Amino acid sequence: MLYNNIKHVINHFKFEGTYKSVEELLSGNINSTYLLTYGKPDGSEARYILQRINTVAFKNPEELMKNVQLVINHITATMARARLSTDRHILEFIPVKGPLTTESPLLYKDERGEYWRADIFIDNATAYNQISDPALFYEAGRGFGEFQKYLSDFPADKLTETIPDFHNTKKRFYNFVASVAADKVGRVSELEEEIDFFFDRRKMMSTIVDMIERGELPLRVTHNDTKLNNVMIDNTTKKALCVIDLDTVMPGSALYDYGDAIRYGASTAAEDEPDLSKIDVDMDLFREFTRGFVSETKEVLTREEVLALPMGVKVITCELAMRFLTDYIDGDIYFKVNRPQHNLIRARAQMRLLEKFEEKYDEMVEYVEKIVAEGKEE
């Protein structure tokens, strides 16, 4: 019974009305997410998202919620200055009821030491897991681009790194090597080909970190987890509404956000597709997202950054493939899994997807060059 998982928590939040039902949302790989329905006295319904924060991934939920609130405040102020309505455009958290159990008024710590938070479910909007309509993917690009734009003057030193070195792909490679060496659960002997795959791409994977170190790419405040289902799209207007899942907003590179969104959204198959023959890159989707993203960020990103966007796609796809394989080698301790070898299946799918991006890399670069050239003519 799902209700059993949440019954000790729901009365600690200022929800409106009386509890009616709960459903688990399964698209996230880290936190546990529940959709709650409440009945209001006037007969209408209120819906909320309730989440248990995974403390294996996020070691300090209190600092995390402080970050999230700072980001929300910043975007709210920016939108207010531009006289834009924030209604349904920004996550709205529900305060905790009763004596505080943590430093944050938005975070409840239960008797088991688990951390919970809740926000208003955005009605009449969809977080797509897959899109085939390029116009919708353009909107996703615009939504993430707009988010990047709103964060462009955010003071990075105010944020805690909720997961240190999250996209430090160089360090992730060393962690991967350490996991291979430790071989904790005896899975390494069957993974020779997969392991070679990452050794072959070691230099490519370091590109962004190296460029940041050399000052060729600016460090920005970025979202860092821009899967398609982290931008809500309005069901009526079909416009991007709200970027969600702000847990990993930290200093990073615009290439990560662009890259991860293309990785997930421009693929013809699911992230964990076991049939590798189904995995390819939809170049129409790639182009539309790119146009949407650049339309919002052209005043913010440097020319070098825009030209380097396709490198973000390769680096992030390789990084995630390697993270999945590392977790498989470690015995599935980080990502939620729902079948045996799930992390290996994910790793193989992302490896195939990376090969497809490698095949199409020149075409991707030509496209961003074209966009940069067009921008100059304007």
Cα–Cα distance measured from residue 176 to residue 221, given in angstroms and rounded to the nearest whole number: 26
Residue 222's beta-bridge partner residues? 250
Cα–Cα distance measured from residue 286 to residue 310, given in angstroms and rounded to the nearest whole number: 10
| 228 vs 240, beta carbon nearer ligand GN1 | 228
Residue 245 touching ligand GN1 (CB under 6 A)? yes
Amino acid in position 183: D
Cα–Cα distance measured from residue 112 to residue 267, given in angstroms and rounded to the nearest whole number: 40
302-321 binders of ligand GN1 (CB under 6 A): 320
Torsions phi, psi for 358 (to 5 deg): -65, -40
Instruction: Using CB under 5 A, pick the residue from 234, 245, 271, 305 that binds Mg ion.
Output: 245
Residue 271 touching Mg ion (CB under 5 A)? no
Select the span of 22-30, 94-102, 106-114, 275-283 touching ligand GN1 (CB under 6 A): 22-30
Alpha helices in the chain (DSSP H): 2-6, 61-81, 134-150, 169-182, 192-200, 202-213, 254-265, 283-297, 303-330, 342-359, 361-377
Cβ(249)–Cβ(221) below 8 Å: yes
Residue 67 touching ligand GN1 (CB under 6 A)? no
Which of the choices ligand GN1, Mg ion, none does residue 325 contact, using the CB cut-off of 5 to 8 A by kind?
none
Residue 276 touching ligand GN1 (CB under 6 A)? no
| 207 vs 267, beta carbon nearer ligand GN1 | 267
Neighbours of 315 (CB within 10 A): 27
Instruction: Using CB under 6 A, pick the residue from 194, 225, 273, 330 that binds ligand GN1.
Output: 225
Select the span of 27-35, 73-81, 183-191, 273-281 touching ligand GN1 (CB under 6 A): 27-35
142-201 binders of Mg ion (CB under 5 A): none
269-276 contact pairs (CB < 8 A, 24+): 269/349, 269/353, 270/129, 270/130, 270/349, 271/346, 271/349, 271/350, 272/342, 272/345, 272/346, 272/349, 273/349, 274/345, 274/349, 276/348, 276/349, 276/352
321-350 binders of ligand GN1 (CB under 6 A): none
CB of 298 to ligand GN1, least distance (A): 26
CB of 28 to ligand GN1, least distance (A): 4
Instruction: Using CB under 6 A, pick the residue from 6, 13, 22, 29 that binds ligand GN1.
Output: 29
Q: Would the CA dihedral through 170, 175, 180, 182 be positive or negative? A: positive
Cβ(375)–Cβ(298) below 8 Å: yes
Residue 119 touching Mg ion (CB under 5 A)? no
Q: What is the largest CA-CA distance in the chain?
A: 62
CB of 323 to ligand GN1, least distance (A): 7
Residue 68 touching ligand GN1 (CB under 6 A)? no
Residue 28 touching ligand GN1 (CB under 6 A)? yes
The size of the interface with ligand GN1 (CB under 6 A), counted in residues, is 10
Instruction: Using CB under 6 A, pick the residue from 9, 25, 46, 57 that binds ligand GN1.
Output: 57
Torsions phi, psi for 15 (to 5 deg): -80, 150
Residue 119 touching ligand GN1 (CB under 6 A)? no
Rounded to a whole number of angstroms, the distance between the first and last alpha carbons of the chain is 59
Residue whose pair of structure tokens reads 């460090």 in the numeric block: 219
| 187 vs 227, beta carbon nearer ligand GN1 | 227
Site string for Mg ion, 203-242 (x = CB under 5 A): ----------------------x-----------------
Select the span of 1-9, 23-31, 59-67, 295-303 touching ligand GN1 (CB under 6 A): 23-31
Cα–Cα distance measured from residue 345 to residue 210, given in angstroms and rounded to the nearest whole number: 30
Instruction: Using CB under 6 A, pick the residue from 32, 51, 67, 248 that binds ligand GN1.
Output: 248
Cβ(143)–Cβ(261) below 8 Å: no
Which of the choices Mg ion, ligand GN1, none does residue 29 contact, using the CB cut-off of 5 to 8 A by kind?
ligand GN1
Residue 260 touching Mg ion (CB under 5 A)? no
> Who contacts 112 (Cβ-Cβ below 8 Å, separation ≥6)?
none
* Binding region for ligand GN1 (CB under 6 A): 28-30, 57, 225, 227, 245, 248, 271, 320
